[in-house]
Copies of this chain bind each other. A is one copy, B any other.
């Protein structure tokens, strides 16, 4: 009795419509400029009229907030999973990097939306969610870098904050590159090449021959 049939497209319960709305926005952000995502465009993508959106969200900002909550939840879950699967800090850093790139390659509009929200003037809810996400993300990286230094995997004199900034910047660089090429898929390939340089930059011994990781 609690079961719901999805035979009919219309008159879905609110929870599912909210989830589908988030999906629509993420899809649209991948195809066009996030700033061109109007409520009309979202509704059209969902096969609804524009007004119907406001049965589930009070404002457009609330929609964006839901999207950012979705991103934060999914991304951090993937990061934590990747972290826990690896024993050493440096391997965990690489796993996080690759899963992050994989996430972003699968949802190319997400980093653009995040960057866009960061530039919003006031103190909006979506902006706060982005800053919180990056804060939590940075804390995990910070801890891993410190652990790596303590275990001797990373250079003991390494500037931890700078290493975290560069880690995030490395991802940003790949995003920008995919923006220029118009192809998000090559991010996955370029990611390994770029991270190799990063690893050399933070590693204890920038070995010429010593293989550091084995996850290839």
Q: Compute how far the CA of A205 lies from the CA of B118 in the bound complex, rounded to whole angstroms.
A: 38
Q: Compute how far the CA of A120 lies from the CA of B206 in the bound complex, rounded to whole angstroms.
A: 40
Point out the residues of chain B lying under 8 angstroms from A214, CB to CB: none
Query: Which of chain A's residues 4-43 have a Cβ closer than 8 Å to chain B?
Result: 32-36
Contacts A33-B120, A33-B121, A193-B161 given; indicate if A176 touches B169 (C-beta within 8 A). Answer: yes
Contacts A162-B193, A197-B201 given; indicate if A119 touches B179 (C-beta within 8 A). Answer: yes
Most buried by B among A32, A119, A199: A119
Interface residue A152 (Cβ < 8 Å from any Cβ of B) = no
Interface string of A191-216 (1 = CB under 8 A from B): 00110111111110110100000000
Q: Which A residues contact B (CB, under 8 angstroms)? A: 32-36, 112, 115-116, 118-121, 131, 134, 155, 157-159, 161-163, 165-174, 176-177, 179-180, 190, 193-194, 196-203, 205-206, 208
- A-B residue pairs, 8 tightest by C-beta: A169-B173, A206-B206, A201-B201, A162-B193, A172-B172, A197-B201, A200-B201, A33-B119
